[in-house]
Amino acid sequence: MHRLQFHYTLSRDSSPALVRNPLIDLLQAVSSHGSISAGARALGLSYRHVWGELKRWENELGNELVVWEKGQSARLTDFGNKLMWAERQAQARLAPQIEALRAELERSYALAFDDSVHVVTLYASHDEAISALREYASHQEPGRLHLDIRFTGSVDAIRALNEGRCVMAGFHTLLDTGKKTLTERTYKPLLQPGQHKIIGFAQRTQGLMVAKGNPLNLHSLQDLAERHARFANRTLGSGTRVVLDELLAQAGLPAGEVAGYEHTEPSHAAVAQAVASGQCDAGLGIAAAAQQAGLDFVPLADERYHLVCLKSALTQPGIQSLLKLLQTPAWLAAMVHIPGYAATQSGEVLSMRRVLPWWEFARRKSEFKLLT
């Protein structure tokens, strides 16, 4: 049994919240570039160093990692491939916990450097633009806003808001969702007009993440069922699980007809890695996650990503700073470069009744008198 140790570094530079292992980086480089020398160049290391490290790890693990024959490209052994994909999948599955750990540490350091900093704790459904927003906010001067972001499912995020564990939540709904739908049944009990305030953030596209070239020619949920494609779903409580079930209902497809409906992953990145590793054929997710995993993306539906807070929190300095930040031209321009995203009323406080048209309020008698 091989044991693990972790460490972290402090830096002004932004980087993904990953637990790095040099061996896995070596294997990825050799696999991607087809030779030890090319892999070494990609990593900025010498051939001798990479060769020595691979041999050291083979002795340590008791298995060959790389094989090659004269005149042919180097390739990973079955063990090397399994090791690399297992680590990548574990990284993807643990991403929310790793992000939460980094958020807690960064919050502590932010307050240590400046105890007057405005800390906004945001529980949110996993989203590429939310991650980008955190990095964008951290580089603004004078750096008085710190976004303490914890990724969790949409339903769990709103519950965290209602229970006082955060001051803002992020969730998403299909653009064309209406009354008497699964979306209404899921979110209406959690949100109360007059108590909660919706803040515009983004519009994004959800679709099928599939292997490069889309070998099974999957273009719809119906195709998934007809071709018995292996699917990776999201966990209960996630907004994407609600979106999938809503789309299945619209298509008249029972969940049981989707092979792998019960196979769940905790994030878009984890679903993408499951597809990339060959564990499944497709999964529902965002274009940015597909691109990062080297997958193709088949758009299925557009949705709005909302921010929500309590009405009483709107006047807090941290919330006010965030609303101003969301409306800056620089942030709106940054959103354009995220695959599958567009800014939509970013930073604007919106009418919940118009954005989520599930409530009907009887007019008061005085209003009827004025009309007559």
- The three-point CA angle 214-338-246 to 5° equals 60
Q: Which of 99-113, 232-246, 343-357 has the highest mean pLDDT?
A: 232-246
Mean local confidence (pLDDT), 162-179: 92
State the amino acid at position 51 in one-letter form: W
282 neighbors 232 (Cβ within 8 angstroms): yes
**pLDDT band at residue 371 using 50, 70 and 90 as cut-offs:** very low
Output the pLDDT for position 286.
95
Mean local confidence (pLDDT), 347-366: 76
Output the pLDDT for position 372.
46
**DSSP 8-state class, residue 362:** P
145 neighbors 171 (Cβ within 8 angstroms): no
Mean pLDDT check: name the lowest of 135-139, 160-164, 362-366: 362-366
Mean local confidence (pLDDT), 94-111: 71
149 neighbors 134 (Cβ within 8 angstroms): yes
Mean local confidence (pLDDT), 93-99: 71
CA dihedral 176, 181, 186, 190 (to 10 degrees): 80
pLDDT at 72 over 90: no
CB burial class (10 A; 0-12, 13-18, 19+) of residue 91?
A: buried
Output the pLDDT for position 145.
86
